[in-house]
Amino acid sequence: VGLGIALAGFSGVMIAPLFEVDATMGELILVQTFIVVVVGGMGSFIGPVIGGLILGQLWALTPLVGRTQYVVQNWTGTVIGPDFWEKASDILLFIVMAVILLLRPRGLFGQEGAFD
């Protein structure tokens, strides 16, 4: 345990000159981690692992939709380009989380809690 703490501290000291500290540091990874745990199901180990694999692939592959040879137009005639699909990958994680919670409130592999 002590070695892990020492390595984490050393890593922080080494990375500190490269990045500035601000209030939103790590916000994106924190939100994504929360979504993965909720989708996978709290109380199980394999649930967040599988949820992370599914959502990670979805998040990484969604921007590739905008790089296809087809032009996508919405109902107003506006062309939906690569910028939309890069932003949609973050939004899609929330949509998947909402759908999973509507269908399975405990997540994919969630277990019944002690107070349920």
Burial 69-103 (b: 16+ CB within 10 A, else e): eeeeeeeeeeeeeeebbeebbeeebeebbeebeee
Domains in the chain: boundaries:
24-116
pLDDT tens string 15-35: 878 877 777 877 888 889 899
The pLDDT tens digits of the residues spanning 49-73 come to: 999 999 999 988 887 876 665 566 6
Q: What is the mean pLDDT of the chain?
A: 82
